[in-house]
């Protein structure tokens, strides 16, 4: 299941990370190299902090794309393999389970909280 979802989401994640890398100022990396920074130091102290939003966006998009692809999950899994999206699908198909409704509400609350925190952080960072 994980491999099938990875095949679907890796191209999107790759594009997002490549866009972040293309926006990276190459002169910063060259300056760090000129000052004697190792490859590991340049990667962890210069490149990763500058592309962290691209990585986070790629991870979130991959998660959402994988989460919504219930069709792929139903197609490639056996009857015994139960994933959370499949469990939710079976709950909606067979009977309306209050636990499924509660899980949906929790996911919506988490999404709203993440967006609210992001909005506050963005406002505070703006001059």
- The pair phi, psi for residue 27, each rounded to 5°, is -65, -30
User: Contact at 8 Å (CB) between 88 and 103?
Assistant: yes
> Rounded to the nearest 10 degrees, how much is the dihedral formed by the CA atoms of 23, 28, 13, 118?
-80
- The pair phi, psi for residue 50, each rounded to 5°, is -80, -20
Question: In the structure encoding, which two tokens stand for residue 87, read together?
Answer: 């469990």
Residue boundaries of the structural domains of the chain: 2-78
From first to last of the 127 residues of the chain, give the pLDDT tens digit: 677 777 888 899 999 999 999 998 889 989 999 999 999 999 999 999 999 999 999 999 888 887 776 666 667 666 676 777 777 667 666 666 677 778 878 888 998 999 999 889 888 887 6
Mean pLDDT of the chain: 83
- The DSSP string of 21-87 is HHHS-HHHHHHHHHTT--HHHHIIIIIHHHHHHHHHHHHHHHHHHHHH-HHHHHHHS-SS---HHHH
pLDDT, position 35: 92
Give, as one character, the DSSP assignment of residue 120. H
Query: pTM above 0.75?
Result: no
- Can you give the length of the chain in residues? 127
Pairwise CA distance, residues 116 & 37, whole Å: 38
- Percentages helix, strand, coil for the chain (3-state, rounded to 5) are 85, 0, 15
User: Contact at 8 Å (CB) between 100 and 88?
Assistant: yes
pLDDT digits (tens, 9 = 90+) for 45-68: 999 999 999 999 999 988 888 777
């Amino acid at each position: 299941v994980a491999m099938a979802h990875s095949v679907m989401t890796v191209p999107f994640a790759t594009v997002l990370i490549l866009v972040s890398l293309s926006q990276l100022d190459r002169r910063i990396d060259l300056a760090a190299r000129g000052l004697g920074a190792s490859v590991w130091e340049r990667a962890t102290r210069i490149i990763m902090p500058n592309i962290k939003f691209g990585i986070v966006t790629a991870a979130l998009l991959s998660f959402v794309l994988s989460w919504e692809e219930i069709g792929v999950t139903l197609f490639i899994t056996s009857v015994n393999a139960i994933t959370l999206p499949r469990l939710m699908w079976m709950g909606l198909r067979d009977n309306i389970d209050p636990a499924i409704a509660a899980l949906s509400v929790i996911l919506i609350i988490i999404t709203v909280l993440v967006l609210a925190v992001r909005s506050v952080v963005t406002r505070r960072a703006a001059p």
